[in-house]
Chain A
Amino acid sequence: MIWLAWRQFRLQTCVAVGLLVAVAIAFALTGPHNVHVYDTVVRTCASRGDCPSVTQSFLGRDHLLRDLSLAAILIPVLVGMFWGAPLIAREMETGSFRLAWTQSVTRSRWVAVKLAVVGIACVSVAGLYSLLVTWWSSPFDTINDNPFSIFDLRDIVPIGYAAFAFALGVSAGVMIRRTLPAMAATLVAFAGVRVAVTQWVRPRLISPLHHSGPFKLFTTNGSPAFSGKGAAGAWITSEVTYNAKGKVIGHNGGIGANGGVNFQPVGNSSAKVVLQGVGQCPNNFPNLQRGVNRSNQVSHAMSEAVNKCLASFHLRDAVTYQPVSRYWALQWYELSIFIVLALLLAGISWWWVRRRLN
């Protein structure tokens, strides 16, 4: 039975192994050199004082391969659609299940072996790909220093996604009994669950930390206002701005409905400025040509004027976040969630084939 499951799956395995090997070769040819450049040029930049230009040029390397590493997000859904959905749906469609189920192997065993053989292949492919990408991207990821922005593409969670997508595909195939509709259903359901978990479950897996302080646009060293403990590389799940009376006036670092922070000159006078949605600044501004926001490079005098104005309104910023120290705990939690979902769906498929395909 194991032989049949493997034989039916041989072509797909060869394609997957071929692609993995191609990616591995591309990474092996470029990865060690990148690490070498990183260690000798980027890491020592502080001593030479050319960090901005050096990191900038390093981040410009191997654009094509870095885009390829984004494929990690597609692998689980491809595995679900092309390996999971047809696994049993195709047998139903072509009628070959009537040949398979009348050999001297019970239906339960047939499904269990198929699920195990192809399921392990899915998990292996996703795991190996993630390992390759995580290793190869590590210099770039270290420079970007924002591990939560690539949470879904690195380390162990892609294994959970692949296992889940595969089991989802099999269940859809078993219930719908037709390959193409099952593939479509897999795509839609997988995207739905992934978005739901990322949006609503992941931020709540571990009770998030809170930081509250005065609302600032620029600090003395030019970094955003939020600089509490564990702020570097943290995942900010929500940011709410309150006025002096405690009324919510903005979200995600902006004020008002359009989400920005806008200073507008009053009439022709360039010294009098209104902070939109709050009120007129008590202090005069230096020559203001246009509105500013966080990303603009501004003069020292300007940033002082802005902070002075903001301080006069006593605005407060409440940040909810996950510190970077929880990265691995969240990876393990999310992996567990998807593995449990995968096992549940595999169990349902197994039961369905035994009891409902009659």
Chain B
Amino acid sequence: MTAVLEAEGLGKRYGRRWALSECTLSIPSGHVVGLVGPNGAGKSTLLNLAVGLLAPTQGSLCVFGNRPAADPAQLARVGFVAQDTPTYAGLSVADHLRLGSQMNPKWDNQLAESRINQLGLDFKQKAGKLSGGQRAQLALTLAIAKRPEILILDEPVASLDPLARREFLQILMETVAEHQVSVVLSSHLVADIERVCDYLVVLVSSRVQLTGELDELLSTHHRLIGPRCDPATLPANQYVVEASHTDRQSTLLVRSDGPILDPAWTIEPVSLEDLVLAYMGQGKALESGRRVSGGGEQ
């Protein structure tokens, strides 16, 4: 499987603050990838780097093996919907489609027009007068009708109400099914990711904490509840992500490739939300550990 997006030691600094540092990840093609992480994890920075709006301070990032935004051909392969879905407030919907057709060689005008009709948008309406949901749909239409090979969406539904959010994701899914386009979608809402994604990347303070196909991740993680024990005593093929203890009882979230054989444990499946939260918690712990040791060196 080839990688659509590959980062190696990627870092981006604003003044003295690192928005992303030493990020290494590889995203295979043909997936709808959900990029989740807490606010400030560097999701938006990573995606802006991937479309060439930002240039890395260190490390490298390749999309389809090329530098992002290197030339018109590379730009044509990547569709992008930016955070808060910016459009030109003074230009009408029809003007936006014209913009798309003028600025993209592979522009599919039929697709764009049928989408706008389907959404019930008025072609003469100024983009500044559209609702948040309609504007997001317009931005998505522009990105889709460009006929890219990968669609990158940066928190596209963050500011939408639940209904608009559902509609937006619905259209996104139809497009993926119709045009076989890879998607990378960032969100901090696990429910959205669960609805549309089949591949997960958890990013916590620039580090990839977890990556893999959603089904596989869910089937290899278990919640174990049993008498209090030391997590270090578990078999070698069981990796403890999160552990909590009461006086008598231990609750563990473990990753295990094989079946859990110890009859002392009650085994429960893990929801995606619990899984993501567990890895985020682990990332935070690692991060604070790094900070402490960093402080000691100075």
Q: Which residues of A contact B (CB under 8 A)?
A: 1, 3-4, 7-8, 11, 94-107, 358
B78 and A102 contacting across the interface, CB-CB below 8 Å:
yes
Check B55 for interface membership: any CB of A closer than 8 A: yes
B82/A102 in contact, CB under 8 A: yes
In the complex, are the beta carbons of B86 and A4 less than 8 A apart?
no
CB distance from B100 to the nearest CB of A (A): 7
Chain B residues whose CB sits within 8 angstroms of the CB of A98 once the complex forms: 48, 53, 80, 82, 86
Cβ-defined partner of A99 (8 Å) among B52, B54, B86? B86
A20 to B195 CA separation, bound complex (whole angstroms): 58
Count of chain B residues with a beta carbon within 8 Å of a chain A beta carbon: 35
By a CB distance below 8 angstroms, the chain A residues around B87 are 96, 99
Chain A residues near B80 (CB-CB < 8 A): 98, 102
Q: Given A7-B91, A95-B84, A98-B80, answer yes or no on A104-B103 (Cβ-Cβ < 8 Å).
A: yes
Within 8 Å CB of B139, what residues of A?
99
Partner-A contacts on B (CB < 8 A): 48, 51-55, 69, 71-73, 75-76, 78-80, 82, 84, 86-91, 95, 98-100, 102-106, 139, 142, 146
Q: Which residues of A contact B71 (CB under 8 A)?
A: 106
Name the B residues within 8 Å of A7 (CB-CB). Answer: 91, 95, 98-99
Evaluate contact between A103 and B103: CB separation under 8 angstroms. Answer: yes
B98→A3 contact, CB < 8 A:
yes
Q: How far is the CB of B61 from chain A (nearest CB, A)?
A: 13
Is B51 in contact with A102, judged by CB distance below 8 angstroms?
yes
Q: Which residue of B lies closest to A107 (CB)?
A: B69
* CB-CB under 8 A for A104 and B53, given A3-B98, A96-B87, A98-B86: no
Could you tell me the distance in whole angstroms from the C-beta of B49 to the nearest C-beta in chain A? Answer: 9
Would you mind naming 17 contact pairs between A and B with Cβ atoms under 8 Å apart? Answer: A1-B103, A4-B99, A7-B98, A8-B90, A94-B88, A96-B86, A99-B82, A99-B139, A101-B69, A102-B75, A102-B80, A103-B104, A104-B72, A104-B73, A104-B75, A105-B75, A358-B54
Asked if A104 and B51 make an inter-chain contact with CB atoms under 8 angstroms apart, the answer reads no
Q: Which residues of A contact B98 (CB under 8 A)?
A: 3, 7
Q: Could you say which residues of chain B place their CB within 8 Å of the CB of A104?
A: 72-73, 75-76, 103-106, 146
Q: Is B72 in contact with A106, judged by CB distance below 8 angstroms?
A: yes
Q: A96-B88, A98-B53 are in contact. Are A103 and B82 (CB under 8 A)?
A: no
A97–B98 alpha-carbon span in the complex (Å): 17
A94 touches B102 (CB 8 A): no
Task: Pick the residue among A1, A3, A11, A94 that contacts B86 (CB under 8 A).
Answer: A94
Residues of B within 8 A of A107 (CB): 69
- Whether A105 contacts B72 by the Cβ 8 Å rule is yes
Q: When A7-B95, A98-B80 are in contact, do A105 and B86 touch as well, CB less than 8 Å? A: no
Give the chain B neighbours of A105 by CB distance below 8 A.
72, 75, 103
Q: Please name the residue on chain B nearest to A102 by beta carbon.
A: B80
Q: How far is the CA of A356 from the CA of B82 in the complex (A)?
A: 20
Minimum CB distance partner of A109 in chain B: B72
User: Are B86 and A95 in contact, with the CB atoms below 8 A?
Assistant: yes
The 4 closest A-B pairs by CB, nearest first: A103-B103, A95-B86, A358-B55, A104-B76
Considering only CB atoms, which chain B residue lies closest to A358 in the complex? Answer: B55
Residues of A within 8 A of B106 (CB): 104
Knowing that A98-B82, A104-B72, A105-B103 touch, tell me 14 more A-B residue pairs with CB under 8 angstroms.
A7-B99, A11-B90, A94-B88, A98-B48, A98-B86, A99-B86, A100-B103, A101-B53, A102-B53, A102-B69, A102-B75, A103-B146, A104-B73, A104-B106
Contacts of A103 in B (CB 8 A): 75, 99-100, 103-104, 146
Smallest CB–CB gap between B262 and chain A, Å? 52
How distant is B130 from chain A, measured CB to nearest CB, in Å?
A: 14
Cα–Cα distance between A99 and B52 once the two chains are bound (Å)? 12
Partner of A1, one of B51, B78, B88, B102: B102
Q: Which residue of A lies closest to B73 (CB)?
A: A104
Q: Which residue of B lies closest to A95 (CB)?
A: B86
Nearest-CB residue, chain A, relative to B70: A106
Instruction: Flag if A99 contacts B88 (CB, 8 Å).
Output: yes
- Bound CA span A103–B72, Å: 8
Nearest-Cβ distance from residue A92 to partner chain B, whole angstroms: 11
